[in-house]
Amino acid sequence: MRTDRTDAPGRVALVHFWLLGTRGGEKVLEALCRIFPGADIFTLFYEPEAVSPLIRSKKVTASCLNPLRRLYRSLLPLMPMALESFDLRGYDLVISSESGPAKGVIASAATRHLCYCHTPMRYLWEMYPDYRAEFCRSALSRALFAPFSSYLRTWDYSTAARVDRFIANSRNIRRRIWKTYRRKSRVVYPPVAVHSFYSAPPQDHFLAVSELVPYKRLDYAVRLFARNGRKLKIAGDGPSYRELKRTAAPNIEFCGRVDDEQLRDLYAHAAAFLMPGEEDFGITMVEALASGKPVIALGRGGASEIVTEDCGVLYAEPSEEALGGALREFDRCAGRFNSFELQQRAREFSEAAFERNFRAAMLRTPRVGLGNARKHDVCAVH
């Protein structure tokens, strides 16, 4: 007998776009695994050594494209076919964890499908011009990219109809979901392991933690710090490393990819955390607050939901001038930031809060096929 209780949903399938590393999306998947310990996982690409023991302990089904996972960035046109080939018959609940095409799986009419959306696909919607400029350097690539993107955009929009309820990871993404799919959603902030971080006396360096890719906008931050001589540490790696390194100065240290213990130490000893790009949510900002460190961030996207005047400084434009002004403001008001209060703010985004709010969103999800489903499809904010 079917039930809508979140502690007894029957068989559960978790669909994640790909499992090739451990970042924010994979942390959400781990939290879902703890909420639904008996769930199975379906994914486009799977590299067991790249994910946590918790995920490896689950039954993981990878798509037919998995043997080509080293080329995953080039396989986007084939992903709809691969996702639609998953057999989800027999599952009572499907939860897609989505910043790619994962919601495109096909479930039966008797199955509820919840989509926890980190963002609609950036390369098709919000950041399409940026990706087109970055990857289409030749006339041939531009000629191929446009029709493929148009096809995938149509497919992505149509698959929103396969979802019974969207859950957004922030108010920022709730707006994008509405703009992209014309679907309402409930906001449940992603889980952050806030209790694993600690505070220590600050040193004289600032910290950025980021993939080194163009849209993270580390470029103007590196130029500014190279010019003003202040110390900056950057944890992370990516295709923009060489370009950023060329514009850097000796006061800027590239730490590369660091393990969890090293990352906690970097947060603990920073003077402040730097977020120069627009984030969908921004888990690293919460990690910095959990380490008792204020945040200096571009005041767009998730930063505007996380950073209040009591825990950091926001600035309006992604430019050296605006960031320089924010650093001067930080120097003036650094004494007002209290590490305990910053950590208290971070606890609002804890793993326990995620589980509590996710379960609440589940309880508000109508059963498939009810005639009054649209009446219950209301937009609520955490």
pLDDT surpasses 80 at 376 = no
Q: Which domains does the chain have, with CATH numbers?
A: 12-191+350-376 (3.40.50), 194-348 (3.40.50.2000)
Torsions phi, psi of 229, nearest 5?
80, 0
pLDDT in tens, 255-285: 999 999 999 999 999 999 999 999 989 999 9
Rounded CA separation 238/256 (Å): 9
What's the pLDDT at 380? 39
pLDDT in tens, 25-83: 899 999 999 999 999 999 999 999 999 999 999 999 999 999 998 888 778 888 999 99
pLDDT in tens, 230-259: 999 999 999 899 999 999 999 999 999 999
pLDDT in tens, 97-107: 988 789 999 99
What's the pLDDT at 136? 61
Rounded CA separation 74/72 (Å): 5
pLDDT surpasses 50 at 135 = yes
Task: Answer for the pair 288, 273: CB distance below 8 angstroms, yes or no.
Answer: yes
pLDDT grade, residue 110 (50/70/90)? very high
* CA distances (Å), origin 199, targets 39, 191, 270, 289: 36, 20, 10, 9
pLDDT surpasses 60 at 206 = yes
pLDDT surpasses 60 at 326 = yes
pTM of the model: 0.82
pLDDT in tens, 3-15: 444 455 689 999 9
CA-nearest of 328, 292, 323 to 310 is 292
Could you tell me the maximum CA-CA distance found in the chain, to the nearest angstrom? 67
